[in-house]
Amino acid sequence: MLTREDFDEACKKVHEVTLETKLIYSDYFSAQTGNRIYLKPENLQRTGAYKVRGAYYKISTLSEEERKKGLITASAGNHAQGVAFAAQKYGCKAVIVMPTTTPLIKVNRTKGYGAEVVLHGDVFDDAADYAMQLAKENGYTFIHPFDDPVVATGQGTIAMEIIQELPLVDYILVPIGGGGLATGVSTLAKLINPKIKVIGVEPEGAACMKESLKNGRVTTLEHVDTIADGTAVKTPGSHIFPYIQKNIDDIITVKDDELVVAFLDMVENHKMIVENSGLLSVAAAGKLKCKNKNVACILSGGNMDLITMSSIVQNGLIMRNRIFTVSVLLPDKPGELASVAETIANEQGNVIKLEHNQFVAVNRSAQVELRITLEAFGTDHKNQIMDALKKGGYQPRIVRTVL
């Protein structure tokens, strides 16, 4: 079993390469949840995620012979960068197998640390199987991203930093993919103070640990479907599962739509980019059945490509009714478009896009369709604009927004 001495040793080693990620108190999320929310910004960590902790500590424990063989791992991106960075520090070869769906930014950054990248499979599990095959064929030393108590010990150093900075922490919310981070954080937290509640958070479309805990054994999901690519894992770790069973107090699942909204909230209120998996903790904070508690949310990573970021922002604005599209039918005569525009302008609505379709009906002089995509301040403002259009004699209809 992992001991306090193991974690103390890991803390000393990990501090050689990690950046200081001080807790950030969130006025916004505190007000939203009724608890005192503190953010642990591992998205600002070296390599953009907490994974450098476990990778560096694991590699530090290897023999010189094991390192000379070369290292190999499988990862959706963050562990890949951690291993590549640590291998570079120790001057050894690193081969990283990544799913073909891995965002380009993670692939390029992994290569940037000198690693050889192999793209294989659609999800992490496919990449992991291939990486283990290559390890056997080439004699590489395999560094598992989560199913290794030594790696988990390195990740658990986050708990030490949280508790040192916030001794009266009541809850720690930790994202779960395969379970390595949750193992390290929950085990050390319970060793220091058994009263601390450690809550795991999984995407609803990849809740392999929740299913495993329910069944009392490691369980493989048939498929995973989530925008949280860093936690899209079918099978949790078998070696670390007993630690999860013992030390995790509960698991909360989060829908993809909730992650989209959390991304928008994080950007607007904290000016930070946090990837979808890293947002699991803050997305779950409002689901805690407690009030007036000290809650630490681990933001596990911030590696997100610009195309994904753009899509998340657009969808978040639509979900928050900050952008919406309304359809109105008008007689095809001069002045009608100006009249609708004036009605919207009087309510401080900002027009983003107009589509004027004269072919919605056979009789064009009877009616044409005008689709207006608008920017609003939120749901109340959207309703205000819709009411004004109705009072103006129009029959507005909300339709799907396509930007």
What CATH number did the domain enclosing 178 receive? 3.40.50.1100
Dist CA 42 CA 19 (whole Å)? 9
Last residue of a domain, one of 91, 110, 142: 142
d(CA 280, CA 292): 21
Burial of 377 (0-12, 13-18, 19+ CB in 10 A): middle
Q: Give the predicted TM-score (pTM) of the model.
A: 0.91
φ, ψ dihedrals at 301, nearest 5°? -165, 165
Token pair for residue 174? 């930790």
Number of Cβ atoms within 10 Å of the Cβ of 85: 24
Only one residue has tokens 């392999």, namely 208
Tell me whether residue 327 is one of the annotated catalytic residues: no
pLDDT at 333: 80
Whether 37 and 102 map to the same domain: the answer is: no
Considering the candidates 13, 26, 40, 51, report the single residue annotated as catalytic: 51
- 266 and 176 belong to one structural domain: yes
- The DSSP code sequence of 141-168 is EE--SSS-HHHHHHHTHHHHHHHHH-TT
**Same structural domain, 160 and 240:** yes
| Residue 284 amino acid letter | A
Residue after which a domain boundary falls, among 316, 342, 370? 316
Q: Give how many domains the chain has, as a whole number.
A: 3
Supply the pLDDT for residue 361: 62
d(CA 313, CA 303): 15
Rounded to whole angstroms, how far apart are CA atoms 216 and 139? 35
Tokens 């930014």 correspond to: 105
Q: What is the pLDDT of residue 297?
A: 98
Domain that holds residue 294: 4-50+149-316
Number of neighbouring beta carbons within 10 Å of residue 363? 7
Q: Going along 229-322, which residue ranges are E strands?
A: 250-254, 294-299
The pLDDT value recorded for residue 230 is 87
Kindly state whether residues 85 and 203 are assigned to the same domain.
no
- Check whether residue 289 and residue 195 sit in a common domain: yes
pLDDT in tens, 271-330: 999 999 999 999 999 999 999 999 999 999 998 888 889 999 999 999 999 999 999 988
- Catalytically annotated residue among 75, 186, 281, 300: 300
**Residues 240, 112: one domain?**
no
E-only strand ranges, 45-195: 71-74, 94-98, 116-119, 141-142, 171-175
Q: Are residues 26 and 162 in the same domain?
A: yes
pLDDT for the residue numbered 403: 79
Residues 239, 226 share a domain? yes
Interatomic CA distance for residues 370 and 352, integer angstroms: 13
For residue 22, indicate whether it is catalytic.
no
**Final residue of a domain: which of 99, 116, 142?**
142
**77 and 19 within one domain:** no
Q: Residues 154, 269: one domain?
A: yes
Residue type, 204: E
Q: Which two tokens stand for residue 6?
A: 């193991």
Averages of pLDDT over each 10 residues, the chain, 403 residues? 95 96 98 98 95 96 94 90 94 94 85 95 88 96 95 98 98 97 98 98 97 97 92 94 98 97 96 97 97 98 90 94 94 86 95 84 70 96 96 93 86
170 and 311, same structural domain?
yes
- Whether residues 199 and 236 share a domain: the answer is yes
Answer for the pair 301, 102: CB distance below 8 angstroms, yes or no: no
The SS3 call for residue 198 is strand
- Dihedral of CA atoms 121, 213, 294, 185 in degrees, nearest 10, equals -60
pLDDT of the residue at 281:
98
Please name the residues in contact with 398: beta carbons below 8 A apart, sequence gap of 6 or more: 324, 325, 326, 327, 386
